[in-house]
Structure 1
Amino acid sequence: MAQSFLQIPSEVWNHIFTFLPVSDKFCVRATCKYFKKLIDHWSLWKGWSVVLSFRNGPYSNQFWASLRRRKVASVVMRSNKAKHWSQLTQGLPGVSTVVVEGTPRTNFRFLEELPHVKRVAVRSTLLLCDANPAAAAQQLTHLSLCGISLPSKDVFKAALSKFTNLTSLDYHLEPIGPPVSCLQVLVDSLPKLKRLSVCFKRVLLCYDTTEAIHRPAALSSLELVNYMNFSLPTDTMRLLPHLRSLSVYHQLSHTEMDDPEHLGFYLKSWLSDLPQLSSLVDYLQETWRQ
């Protein structure tokens, strides 16, 4: 009777295990070698990310082997030490998504050793980058920059223009004084960009309409977070003819909410220049002045 569970086909067990949360999967995995093998099947770990902190030193070969069996393709890296990045490149050479967070500083050099990475997110750290990053920068299609600090905005803008295959960009930066970039630079430097999210609480964009963008932007989705009225001129959307989705999350003070000019003037002007728009989100968040 004790061996009766072995008579159940592995496909049935795999289906049962799909209903378990991750914590329960680890508990089942620890019961016996048979379940350990079943639990490590890649079909049970789709979309799963592993957090690598290296708090207790390097991870064992068995640890990396289990991740490879599960075909883990997404990691959260919480170390900027070269030896830890080296272990990642050797342990999971096929990783496609990397999130860097919780480190004092980081850069894009790890892309040279991880040729399959397509998505990168950098959060709450100091981003060091060269004006001419490695050719591997062109392999990225998705880049998310949230709460980071930059030592040089000019060097960063030059580096960003090298990511020529980006299709999605989250541009949420910590304040560093003058504007880090402007919408014109982003859409003109990144010709394949389809989705752009900008946080206006941290970055005030400047759009120079006196120098037209060399080509119509390919953007199909634009998200303006913590948007402050008059940050962009009324004719901004004329240069985004392919835009299909627009999301505007307003950041208004109590006094501005009583002024209809602040609430709708710019939005109405924008809509008249967006013939292909099919999705619109206009969210108003009230803030109070101290």
Structure 2
Amino acid sequence: MQRRSCLPLPQEIYVNIFRCLSDEEKGNIRATSRLFKQLIDQPALWKKSTVVLKKITGYNADFWELLRKRRIKCVVMRKGNAKCLKKLLLELPGLTALTFDGCSKINMLQLPCKFQSLNKLAFKNCHPSFPIQDIASVLQITHLTLCSFVEPFPCAEQMATLVSLKNLRSLALHNYCRDPNGCLLQSALFEFHNLKELSLKEKPFSMVLHPDFFTPPSITKSDRKEKQTKYDSRLHLEKLEILGSNNVTLSEESLNQLSSVNSLTLHYDHQKNSLEKCEMVTILKNLPNLKELRVKGGWSFSKYAHSIPPSLEALHLCRVAIGNKELEYLARQRAGLKHLHLDYCSFTEEWYPDELPDNFPCLKTLSIRHCKITVDQFRDLAKLKHLEMLDIVDICLFPTNCLQKSVQEFRILTDHRVQVVQHPGSREQIPCDCSAC
């Protein structure tokens, strides 16, 4: 006789609830009952999960079987060696994303080419004891990250290796650099015919972008026929990140090459003096298709608020000075904004988060981290009719015995349609989050 479930709700509802939980939360619930264990191990709940592995040879057969059951596709291997990599290939040959973190003195790239489904590859804090040229053996990869190598990169031969990856769509170079003027990279950009995403970290990359960095390389008459087929006349970038910058001043021709960019991230090393010329005004005015803007540091938002294009759907500000007038102007011009994230932003005057529902009625995600919000203002955010996720960190302003009660009241007011994310500690986005996943 088949045993009937004692759960008060259909299993499909529990699965949908579990989709909203972190991996840690799913693990805690999994331990409470056999049925929850069975439900939580469904592959659909782990599609976006990344497993960090240390001392790979120490995991037992049950652990590997669990990963296969969940169809884990993304792995970060920390401080491993060739033996660990062989074990990983044996147990999880179907990986699609693989990050090496802190691995050294082993020829890593003899094996990644054997992961037939691998398309995302990242190296972070690695010693380049293997030749960069070996990356060319993994021809199918579409995403490549090289971050914080012990030795400088790249030379002309190494850059030629990267250009040979014809399927590459995303490239992140966060590295010590022996190309201080960026000439090698500038030339290579127009050889990546399928490149859509580019991320550069100027420090410790130690490269300052010159104004013509995104312009085509000059072609002399003698080699015009050979190089015209080699180079594209235009870039096709859709996502651009410039991290750890002090100054990003681009020429008109460079900005013209970036007109297809719809996601821009600029991380400045420090706050900019309001008397300095705001280069962001020129940049934003030349990005007519921009949908997402992420800024950390730099100038006060008042300097470039009027330059934000009408196409913008998502705005992420971190450690940026902002005032009510700028928010009101943004609301009038971009009332259809769908995503607003404010992290550690300093307000030039008292601000009123309870006005957000009237100013930005279309918001789907809202993040307010360390921006001073009271319990009553928090409750008023329930008026956002389209809100799907609320990330809030202001624990200090909530009485200890009131926090969970306020969250529960908020969920009731929104008919439990909003995922409320609470992080007691700082979760500020770090400038370099290198991962293949």
Q: TM bucket by the smaller chain? A: 0.7 to 0.9
Which residue in the other structure is 1:149 paired with? 150
Which residue in the other structure is 1:199 paired with? 201
TM score, norm. by length of structure 2: 0.53
Which amino acid counterpart does residue 85 of structure 1 have in structure 2?
L
1:196, 1:222 within 8 Å by CA — same for their partners in 2? yes
**Structure 2 CA distance for aligned equivalents of residues 170 and 210 of structure 1:** 21
1:146, 1:171 within 8 Å by CA — same for their partners in 2? yes
Give structure 2 stretches of 5+ with no counterpart: 220-230, 300-437
Across the aligned residues of Structure 1 and Structure 2, the Cα RMSD in angstroms comes to: 3.7
Q: 1:229 to 1:15 in 2, by over 3 A?
A: closer
Which residue in the other structure is 2:218 paired with? 211
Task: Look up the SS of the partner of 2:134 in the other structure.
Answer: coil
The number of residue pairs the alignment matches comes to 279
**74-83 or 169-178, larger mean C-alpha shift:** 169-178
Which residue in the other structure is 1:113 paired with? 114
Match of 1:239 among 257, 267, 292: 257
Task: Look up the SS of the partner of 1:121 in the other structure.
Answer: strand
Give structure 1 stretches of 5+ with no counterpart: none
2:95, 2:118 within 8 Å by CA — same for their partners in 1? yes
**221-230 or 75-84, larger mean C-alpha shift:** 221-230
**Structure 1 CA distance for aligned equivalents of residues 83 and 115 of structure 2:** 14
**Structure 1 CA distance for aligned equivalents of residues 195 and 65 of structure 2:** 36
Q: 1:22 to 1:275 in 2, by over 3 A?
A: closer
Q: How far off its partner does 1:6 sit? A: 5.7
Q: 1:240 to 1:79 in 2, by over 3 A?
A: same
Task: Look up the SS of the partner of 1:215 in the other structure.
Answer: coil
**Structure 2 CA distance for aligned equivalents of residues 169 and 108 of structure 1:** 18
Task: Look up the SS of the partner of 1:235 in the other structure.
Answer: helix
2:196, 2:237 within 8 Å by CA — same for their partners in 1? yes
**Structure 1 CA distance for aligned equivalents of residues 150 and 124 of structure 2:** 9
**Structure 1 CA distance for aligned equivalents of residues 149 and 281 of structure 2:** 29
**Structure 1 CA distance for aligned equivalents of residues 126 and 261 of structure 2:** 32
**Structure 1 CA distance for aligned equivalents of residues 32 and 137 of structure 2:** 43
**Structure 1 CA distance for aligned equivalents of residues 267 and 259 of structure 2:** 21
Which residue in the other structure is 1:285 paired with? 298
Give the 5 Å matches for 1:252-263.
258-260=275-277, 263=278
1:216, 1:239 within 8 Å by CA — same for their partners in 2? yes
Task: Look up the SS of the partner of 1:64 in the other structure.
Answer: helix
Which residue in the other structure is 2:24 paired with? 23
Q: How far off its partner does 1:215 sit? A: 2.0
Which residue in the other structure is 2:173 paired with? 171
Q: 1:283 to 1:58 in 2, by over 3 A?
A: closer
Which amino acid counterpart does residue 249 of structure 1 have in structure 2?
H
Task: Look up the SS of the partner of 1:133 in the other structure.
Answer: helix
Q: 1:234 to 1:68 in 2, by over 3 A?
A: same
Q: How far off its partner does 1:177 sit? A: 7.6
TM score, norm. by length of structure 1: 0.76
Q: 1:135 to 1:235 in 2, by over 3 A?
A: closer
Q: How far off its partner does 1:249 sit? A: 3.5
Give the 5 Å matches for 1:89-168.
89-104=89-104, 107-130=108-131, 132-133=133-134, 135-150=136-151, 153-154=154-155, 155-168=157-170
Q: Deviations over 1:19-65 (max 9, x none)?
A: 6543354345446655544332212223111111017x432222111
Which amino acid counterpart does residue 228 of structure 1 have in structure 2?
N
2:53, 2:75 within 8 Å by CA — same for their partners in 1? yes
Which residue in the other structure is 1:68 paired with? 68
2:243, 2:267 within 8 Å by CA — same for their partners in 1? yes
**Structure 1 CA distance for aligned equivalents of residues 150 and 249 of structure 2:** 22
1:227 paired with 2:245, answer yes
1:64, 1:91 within 8 Å by CA — same for their partners in 2? yes
**156-165 or 92-101, larger mean C-alpha shift:** 156-165
Q: How far off its partner does 1:216 sit? A: 0.9
Q: 1:85 to 1:214 in 2, by over 3 A?
A: same
Q: Deviations over 1:170-215 (max 9, x none)?
A: 2221355845665423412311111112122233145386616642
Task: Look up the SS of the partner of 1:189 in the other structure.
Answer: coil
